[in-house]
Structure 1
Amino acid sequence: MARNGGMGGMGGMGGMGGMGGMGGMGDFLGAGAAQGNNPILTAGLQTTAEAIVFATGDGPAPVPTQLPENSTANLDRSADWVRGSLYLTDFIKDVGSSVVGEEVSLSFENQNLLSVHRPSASLLSEQSKFVRDYSDLRADRAAEITSQLGFPTEYFAMILALHPAHNRYTLELITVTQLMCSHLAMMAKYSLAIRRPDQVDTRIMPMIATPGHGSFPSAHATEAYGVATVMLGLLDAWQSYADSPDRRELVKQLASRIAVNRTVAGVHYPMDTWAGASLGQAVGGAILGRCGAPQTAKAATYTPKNTDFFGTDFEKLLAGDSVPTDYGVQFGAPVQSTVSPLFNWLWKKALKEAHTGDTNGVIA
């Protein structure tokens, strides 16, 4: 899951978390763990303990009550990074992949999420022109691109009015979704092994460092559309915004913009976004199912075409509407997944963080 930046140079796990390390799982690795003591504090604790322990006597320690075994009742006692590890284990054990010829399929609980065909070498060359054309937008989008090198949690927080003080578990759910999406995207990238645009056309010259893994599918697109899918499900459950329809549309627009920004930066082809968006909405649906929440995501098949990416057409295709262009995407059966106690615990925590304002519980 290597990403650009983040984690103070920890590289491999990239920019996990977001929200300045304050929200939900924070930076994931080490989040919620007790901080190490400085040498003076360590010595002070030791001498104090030795000086006052006589007051407890020499008798045996009291017999404690046992914590429940293998129970979500213990999750509140766990550091954020421990829960993150448990979510990852719970989800990944049901992920499958297969390679048949030049087609890679990713599945969840033995049901297809995405089947994607490997793009040809000539298609890489053709798609490079789109990447060159997008470079005109770099000056305008530089701040977005560089601040989205890790997980762009803050951008979703802006639309949904999320704050670490109020929405710790919603932010944890966002981070978990990004982790699962990144993991599956990397599995597909490894199998398909597609060169980055600047490795095909020297005129592209990316404005950021080219990541050290394959181009197809886009992990940023996978994560953005995965988070959008889960957050749209949460918005439906919250029903706490008077302007919820506007926020829903903004979430969809944001997912598209985050994904396209990677083409603007020069590190992804438009076809990478088609594949990543298709995978992301499917993974998001699987996560909602794990949470015990309703979802409308669909399994997808993508045969790369030499087209640009348009978020509005992606949404139309997902909804079953027709579009004038053959983008190579076909959506199939609804994504199915069984409820997980771990994800259901997190979902219920996030549900309780719904914004409330007036007497109807709706923000006016």
Structure 2
Amino acid sequence: MPLQHGQHGQHGQAANAAVQTSDEALLAAALMRSRDAISGTEIVKPDPFQAGELDLAARLPRLARDYRNAVMLSELLEDLVFVSEDDAPPGKTARAMALSRRTTGDPVPLARIVRPGLADFSQAAPLVAAYAELRADRLTEILAQQRHLIPFLSSILPLDPVRNPALAEMLEVGLDLVTPVVMRVKLALGCPRPNQFSDRIQPLIPEPAHPALPSGHATQIFMLATMLSLLANPDAQVKPDDQLYRLACRIAVNRTVAGVHFPADSASGAVLGIQLGRYAMARGLRGTVGSAEFDGSLFGNQAEPRDFHAEILNQMMNGDDPSTRFNDDRTAARPAPLWQALCHRARQEWQNRWS
């Protein structure tokens, strides 16, 4: 039955595509006939013209949404520098990936992720298996969060895309930024998935076709939570008991419940996401940003596997966890004029949300 349903779905898509093609052909033929009727063979006389007066930021909203997002994404990516740190002697995977940002001088550190050892992952596999007991309870969340994250934020804050279009677009660009960044880190570190350590894990959802650490979902949701916090208050700190960060922790843990991520994947994703959120908002609101480091080889409890949840995040943010360090080395970020224009519109929308 599932195969038949899939075939029926393909047939439906093909039928819709055929109807759309037919409609486009009909419209093209009608436009051609209409033009021939009202223009005929008259010689075209161009209208008067003048040079454009809008600057780049003012012209940006005239692009289609996807193209605007691509422009701002390229602007945010242009300041990021990746340096892979190999093992000694060099191995097939990197020991660490350092992410820096360009300034008016030499690049300065933004985030550094050190991979755990294989023994650390192996030790954590039973913990991932134990989380399977929560799958029935978390099933709907896990499935929905495969494709949707922003609606979960909208259940906490009034993020109505009709009333806050610039804010919605800002968050979408943030989501888009995570993918190229996190994939560079994943590829360099090459960390395994839980079911590679045991055939009893049996993930609830298809295993993503890329390395595990850092978790992309954790990076995304922590970046979005940080962006929203800084939009409301440029001096906001990460508060694990805040609703946004409680949600971020739950979404990250859900990936472990599903059997596709270790707790260390979520912890490293949280650090990277927080730093990317700070970086993006510093460039959009003319702010400052410091550096952070997550060392997966130190993310453990000696003989016991290490978990990740809001209390662990609290320890990481307060400097009480040996794996994580947020440094007091904040410096100004280079402004990104096009991204900055969007962030300012988003801030105005948020400040006027009561109107």
Q: How far has the Cα of 1:311 moved from its partner?
A: 2.3
Counterparts of 1:296 and 1:232, CA distance in 2: 14
Alpha-carbon displacement from aligned partner over 1:159-178 (angstroms, at most 9, x marks no partner): 11122211111111111111
Counterparts of 2:51 and 2:314, CA distance in 1: 50
2:179 to 175, 182, 189: 182
Q: How far has the Cα of 1:119 moved from its partner?
A: 1.5
Cross-structure match for 1:29: none
Counterparts of 1:327 and 1:142, CA distance in 2: 33
Q: Which runs of structure 2 are paired with 1:110-149 in the superposition (5 Å)? A: 110-149=107-146
Counterparts of 1:225 and 1:141, CA distance in 2: 19
**DSSP-derived class of the 1:160 partner:** coil
Q: 1:248 to 1:274 in 2, by over 3 A?
A: closer
Counterparts of 1:36 and 1:77, CA distance in 2: 29
1:236 to 233, 237, 247: 233
Q: 1:247 to 1:217 in 2, by over 3 A?
A: closer
Query: Are 2:39 and 1:39 equivalent residues in the alignment?
Result: no
Q: Flag structure 1 segments of 5+ consecutive residues without an equivalent.
A: 1-8, 10-34, 238-244
Q: How far has the Cα of 1:214 moved from its partner?
A: 0.2
Counterparts of 2:240 and 2:53, CA distance in 1: 40
Deviates more, 1:152-161 or 1:261-270: 152-161
Q: How far has the Cα of 1:116 moved from its partner?
A: 1.9
Alpha-carbon displacement from aligned partner over 1:312-350 (angstroms, at most 9, x marks no partner): 3324532xx354xx4511111336421111111111221
Cross-structure match for 2:82: 97
Counterparts of 1:174 and 1:78, CA distance in 2: 18
Cross-structure match for 2:349: 353
Q: How far has the Cα of 1:97 moved from its partner?
A: 1.2
Counterparts of 2:180 and 2:309, CA distance in 1: 25
Query: Contact conserved, 1:88 with 1:180, CA < 8 A, in 2?
Result: yes
**DSSP-derived class of the 2:326 partner:** strand
Q: Which runs of structure 2 are paired with 1:165-244 in the superposition (5 Å)? A: 165-236=162-233
Q: How many residues align?
A: 315
1:266 to 247, 259, 267: 259
Query: Contact conserved, 2:111 with 2:291, CA < 8 A, in 1?
Result: no
Counterparts of 1:186 and 1:252, CA distance in 2: 23
Q: Flag structure 2 segments of 5+ consecutive residues without an equivalent.
A: 1-8, 10-20, 88-94, 301-305
Q: CA RMSD in A?
A: 2.8
Give the partner amino acid of 1:108: R
Query: Are 2:56 and 1:71 equivalent residues in the alignment?
Result: yes
Counterparts of 1:36 and 1:42, CA distance in 2: 10
Counterparts of 1:145 and 1:352, CA distance in 2: 34
**DSSP-derived class of the 1:170 partner:** helix
TM-score (norm 1): 0.79
Counterparts of 2:189 and 2:240, CA distance in 1: 35
Query: Contact conserved, 1:298 with 1:335, CA < 8 A, in 2?
Result: no
Give the partner amino acid of 1:44: A
Q: Which has the higher helix share?
A: 2
Q: Which runs of structure 2 are paired with 1:81-96 in the superposition (5 Å)? A: 81-96=66-81
Counterparts of 2:330 and 2:312, CA distance in 1: 19
Alpha-carbon displacement from aligned partner over 1:193-236 (angstroms, at most 9, x marks no partner): 01111112111100000000000111111111111100111222
Deviates more, 1:109-118 or 1:226-235: 109-118
Runs of 4+ in 1 over 4 A off after TM superposition: 245-248, 293-298, 355-358
**DSSP-derived class of the 1:163 partner:** coil
Cross-structure match for 1:23: none
Cross-structure match for 2:4: none
Counterparts of 1:36 and 1:105, CA distance in 2: 52
**DSSP-derived class of the 2:156 partner:** helix
Q: 1:250 to 1:38 in 2, by over 3 A?
A: same
Counterparts of 2:156 and 2:331, CA distance in 1: 26
Query: Contact conserved, 1:233 with 1:295, CA < 8 A, in 2?
Result: no
Counterparts of 2:249 and 2:341, CA distance in 1: 30
Counterparts of 1:49 and 1:350, CA distance in 2: 42
**DSSP-derived class of the 1:83 partner:** helix
Q: How far has the Cα of 1:58 moved from its partner?
A: 3.2
Q: 1:235 to 1:155 in 2, by over 3 A?
A: same
Q: How far has the Cα of 1:248 moved from its partner?
A: 8.6
Q: 1:217 to 1:51 in 2, by over 3 A?
A: same
Cross-structure match for 1:317: 316
Give the partner amino acid of 2:67: V
1:329 to 302, 318, 324: 324
Give the partner amino acid of 1:144: E
Counterparts of 2:156 and 2:140, CA distance in 1: 18
Cross-structure match for 2:336: 340
Counterparts of 2:353 and 2:223, CA distance in 1: 28
TM-score (norm 2): 0.81
Query: Max radius of gyration: which structure?
Result: 2
Counterparts of 1:145 and 1:217, CA distance in 2: 18
